[in-house]
Amino acid sequence: MTPHRIAKRKMYKMNRTRAPSPRDISFTGYGAVREIGAALYVLNFLGYEVQLESGTRPRVSWAPETYKKALPHVLYKNIGALMGIRDIVITHAHLDHIGALALQFKLMLAANPSLTPDSLRIWMTGPAWRFTKHQLTQTVNSMKRNPDWKGHQPLFDEHDIDTLEEYVRIIHFGEMIELNPTLTMVVIPAGHILGAASFLFCQKLSNGGEARVLATGDTSDKDQIFIRGAVRPDIKIDMLIPDGTNLGKIPDPLETPVEGFLESDSFLGTLNRGGIVVVPSLSIHREPDNIARIRNAGLEKVAKLYIDGGDRALQIFKECLEPEQQHLLENLTFIHGKREREEVLRSRHAIVVAAGGMFPDRSPAHWWLTRGVEHADVSFVINNWQDPCSPGTALLAHRHGAAEEVSIGASSDPCTIEIGHDTYEVRCEVHRLATSSHQEEGEFERMVDMLSPKRIVVVHAEFSQATRYLTGKDSERFAYPKHGTEVGI
C-beta separation of 413 from 462 below 8 A = no
The reply on whether position 57 binds Zn ion by CB under 5 A is no
**Contacts with 423 (C-beta within 8 Å, 6 or more apart), sequence order:** 416, 417
Q: Which stretch binds Zn ion (CB under 5 A): 9-17, 45-53, 104-112, 213-221?
A: 213-221
Write down the least CB distance from residue 218 to Zn ion, Å.
4
Residues recorded for the chain:
489
- C-alpha to C-alpha distances, 447 to 242, 385, 474, nearest whole angstrom: 10, 22, 17
Write down the least CB distance from residue 10 to Zn ion, Å.
34
The reply on whether position 160 binds Zn ion by CB under 5 A is no
Q: Considering beta carbons, is residue 57 or 94 the nearer one to Zn ion?
A: 94
CA distance 74 to 187: 27
Q: Considering beta carbons, is residue 94 or 293 the nearer one to Zn ion?
A: 94
C-beta separation of 461 from 245 below 8 A = yes
Residue 287's H or E segment, with its range, is: helix 286-296
CA distance 463 to 194: 27
Burial class (CB in 10 A: 0-12, 13-18, 19+), 15: middle
Count CA atoms within 13 Å of residue 19 on its CB side: 12
Write down the least CB distance from residue 52 to Zn ion, Å.
12
Q: Which stretch binds Zn ion (CB under 5 A): 88-96, 171-179, 336-344, 346-354?
A: 88-96
Q: Which stretch binds Zn ion (CB under 5 A): 71-79, 214-222, 223-231, 338-346?
A: 214-222
- Provide the 10 A C-beta neighbour count for residue 272: 12
List beta partners, residue 488.
Answer: 26
Write down the least CB distance from residue 285 to Zn ion, Å.
8
Q: Considering beta carbons, is residue 218 or 486 the nearer one to Zn ion?
A: 218
Among 49, 218, 287, 289, binds Zn ion (CB under 5 A): 218
Write down the least CB distance from residue 94 to Zn ion, Å.
4
Q: Considering beta carbons, is residue 230 or 402 the nearer one to Zn ion?
A: 230
Helix 311-320, helix 286-296: angle, nearest 10: 80
Fill in the amino acid letter for 251.
P
The reply on whether position 238 binds Zn ion by CB under 5 A is no
Count CA atoms within 13 Å of residue 365 on its CB side: 25
Write down the least CB distance from residue 488 to Zn ion, Å.
25
Positions in 402-441 near Zn ion (CB under 5 A): none
The reply on whether position 286 binds Zn ion by CB under 5 A is no
- DSSP, collapsed to helix, strand or coil, labels residue 61 as coil
Q: Considering beta carbons, is residue 33 or 183 the nearer one to Zn ion?
A: 33
Among 16, 34, 59, 94, binds Zn ion (CB under 5 A): 94
Among 35, 49, 53, 96, binds Zn ion (CB under 5 A): 96
Q: Considering beta carbons, is residue 94 or 249 the nearer one to Zn ion?
A: 94
Q: Which stretch binds Zn ion (CB under 5 A): 93-101, 200-208, 246-254, 314-322?
A: 93-101
Q: Considering beta carbons, is residue 45 or 317 the nearer one to Zn ion?
A: 317
C-beta separation of 254 from 401 below 8 A = yes
Write down the least CB distance from residue 339 to Zn ion, Å.
34
- CA-based Rg of the chain, rounded to a whole angstrom? 23
The reply on whether position 462 binds Zn ion by CB under 5 A is no
Write down the least CB distance from residue 460 to Zn ion, Å.
6
Q: Considering beta carbons, is residue 16 or 92 the nearer one to Zn ion?
A: 92
Write down the least CB distance from residue 39 to Zn ion, Å.
6
Q: Considering beta carbons, is residue 243 or 429 the nearer one to Zn ion?
A: 243
Alpha helices (runs of H) in 321-462, residue ranges in sequence order: 323-326, 337-347, 364-372, 391-396, 403-408, 443-451
Q: Which stretch binds Zn ion (CB under 5 A): 19-27, 96-104, 143-151, 175-183?
A: 96-104
3-state SS string for 109-124 = HHHCCCCCCCCCEEEE
Q: Rule CB under 5 A: which residues touch Zn ion?
A: 94, 96, 218
